[in-house]
Amino acid sequence: MPTPEVSVLMPVYNCEKFIRESLESILNQTFTNFELIVIDDASTDSTPAIVKSYKDPRIVFVQKPQNTGYTRSLNTGLQMVRGEFIARMDGDDISRSTRLEKQVAYLQSNPDVLLVGSLFSIIGGLKPRYSPLSHDSLKVYFLHHNYLQHPTAMMRRKVMDAFNLRYDPGYEPAEDYKLWTEIICRGRVEVLNEVLLDYRMHEAQTSATRSSEQEKQVDRIRLQMVSRLLGENQLDEATTKLHLQLIKNEADKNFSLRKLDAWVKILMKANAERRVFNHKELQSFLFNKQLDVIRNYYQYSSRHSFENIAYYVRNFKRLRAGIFPRNYFELAARILYRNCFRQLLAHK
């Protein structure tokens, strides 16, 4: 067979309900020069039979004798790809008909872009899901979470090979987030401002069945991302907890607004010196994260530290003069004063 321009990598496991729609959404693409590598992870339903029923020569089907996991299926596929570009696809989602065409055209027109994603819609939902679009914005938002949906991605094979990048089984089920952070720290990653994928949510998917495990791995990656800014071994137990409070909008009874504000200043100073992130994007992200923590703390906690209240009031003008959206700050202020007066009354 001629060498395909795109290798579509699709790991599957017990996808009999949705696999036909997913396969046909790729086989019916307007861009036709591709191979579709389907890696079956020892399914126990009719998924293999359904895949084999398609006689399209572009399908390369691999049926694993034992179930070894999603990440290892991905890496098996990466060893087989022949295309210049690698597109990801899952066995329960639907690619829009022009997806491959538009992503290939974008990568060809932008040779410095290593990876491109797209917006996506939830099947049955009303609106596309939000994602930062530009490289600078996306890199900053990776401090918080994975904002590039896995089956929207198309990457350059030569980048994967040059840096020996693969999916790391040690980070499953957040292996895609880990890989994206490795790629974005080596070059440009962009998201097309167009919905090119319909994403299916159901009770059997990883985000539903392994959510606790996934969150632990996501926290590991969050801390690795901030360590790229601060340097290795700069986080101790206290700053690790403080940073995760900031990123996850969490605060316990010992929460200190003063310490949180000081931590944001440390991060901004480190970036001013090292320029790991776009400075304006980082500033906007961190201050809005700080505001989210403040808002959640004063809205959901019944009793608050008077030290925090006093600090908030003293620094209101300084913070307000920054880049907080006015409506959010006024909301936080109303919440703060409401709870402040409640505490004063409670002490009478």
Which strand (E) or helix (H) includes residue 94?
Answer: strand 94-95
**Comparison of pLDDT for 112 and 324, the residue scoring more:** 112
Q: For position 293, what pLDDT does the model report? A: 85
Q: What is the tens place of the pLDDT at every residue in 115-147? A: 999 999 999 876 777 788 899 999 999 999 999
Which strand (E) or helix (H) includes residue 248?
Answer: helix 237-248
248 and 178 in a single domain? The answer is no
Q: What is the tens place of the pLDDT at every residue in 259-295? A: 888 999 999 999 999 999 999 999 999 988 988 887 7
Q: Answer yes or no: is 218 within a domain.
A: no
Q: How confident is the model at residue 341 (pLDDT cuts 50, 70, 90)?
A: very low
Compute, in degrees rounded to 10, the torsion defined by CA atoms 85, 86, 87, 91: 150
Q: Is a pLDDT exceeding 50 seen at residue 95? A: yes
Q: Which of 70, 68, 76 is nearest to 7 (CA)?
A: 76
**Comparison of pLDDT for 311 and 129, the residue scoring more:** 129
Average pLDDT across the chain, whole number: 88
Q: For position 158, what pLDDT does the model report? A: 98
Q: Answer yes or no: is 275 within a domain.
A: yes
Q: Answer yes or no: is 27 within a domain.
A: yes
Q: How confident is the model at residue 111 (pLDDT cuts 50, 70, 90)?
A: very high
Q: What is the tens place of the pLDDT at every residue in 146-161? A: 999 999 999 999 999 9
Which amino acid is located at 126 in the chain? L
63 and 148 in a single domain? The answer is yes
106 and 150 in a single domain? The answer is yes
293 and 158 in a single domain? The answer is no
Q: Cα dihedral sign for 26, 28, 34, 37?
A: positive
What are the backbone angles phi and psi of residue 187, rounded to the nearest 5°? 175, -175
Q: Answer yes or no: is 273 within a domain.
A: yes
105 and 157 in a single domain? The answer is yes
Residues spanned by the domain of 49: 6-211
Q: For position 345, what pLDDT does the model report? A: 44
- CA–CA distance, 243 with 241 (Å, rounded to integer): 6
56 and 195 in a single domain? The answer is yes
Q: Is 124 left (phi over 0), alpha (psi -120 to 50) or beta?
A: left
Q: How confident is the model at residue 256 (pLDDT cuts 50, 70, 90)?
A: confident
Q: What is the tens place of the pLDDT at every residue in 9-61? A: 999 999 999 999 999 999 999 999 999 999 999 999 999 999 999 999 999 99
* Greatest pairwise CA separation for the chain in angstroms: 84
Instruction: Judge contact between 185 and 142, C-beta under 8 A.
Output: no
Q: Cα dist. 99→103, 118, 238 in Å?
A: 6, 9, 45
Reported as half-sphere exposure (CB side, CA atoms, 13 A), residue 332 has a value of 23
Neighbours of 282 (CB within 10 A): 23
Domain end residue (candidates: 173, 196, 211): 211
15 and 164 in a single domain? The answer is yes
Q: How confident is the model at residue 252 (pLDDT cuts 50, 70, 90)?
A: confident
The structure's pTM equals 0.87
**Comparison of pLDDT for 250 and 136, the residue scoring more:** 136
171 and 26 in a single domain? The answer is yes
Mean pLDDT of the 169-198 span: 97
pLDDT > 90 fraction of the chain, expressed in percent and rounded: 71
28 and 98 in a single domain? The answer is yes
Q: Cα dist. 60→51, 54, 83, 114 in Å?
A: 10, 11, 13, 25
Q: Answer yes or no: is 76 within a domain.
A: yes
Q: Answer yes or no: is 112 within a domain.
A: yes
Q: For position 210, what pLDDT does the model report? A: 77
Q: Answer yes or no: is 230 within a domain.
A: no
Instruction: Judge contact between 36 and 26, C-beta under 8 A.
Output: yes
Could you tell me the two tokens for 145?
């979470």
Q: For position 61, what pLDDT does the model report? A: 99
Q: For position 289, what pLDDT does the model report? A: 92
Q: How confident is the model at residue 110 (pLDDT cuts 50, 70, 90)?
A: very high
Domain end residue (candidates: 178, 211, 244): 211
CATH code for the domain of 38: 3.90.550.10
- CA–CA distance, 217 with 219 (Å, rounded to integer): 5
249 and 158 in a single domain? The answer is no
75 and 161 in a single domain? The answer is yes
Q: For position 225, what pLDDT does the model report? A: 98
**Comparison of pLDDT for 209 and 297, the residue scoring more:** 297
Domain total of the chain: 2
Q: What is the tens place of the pLDDT at every residue in 203-232? A: 666 555 678 999 999 999 999 999 999 998
Q: How confident is the model at residue 255 (pLDDT cuts 50, 70, 90)?
A: confident
| Strand pairing class (113-122; 128-129) | antiparallel
Could you tell me the two tokens for 61?
């089907």
**Comparison of pLDDT for 343 and 69, the residue scoring more:** 69
Could you tell me the two tokens for 64?
């694993």
48 and 186 in a single domain? The answer is yes
Q: Answer yes or no: is 219 within a domain.
A: no
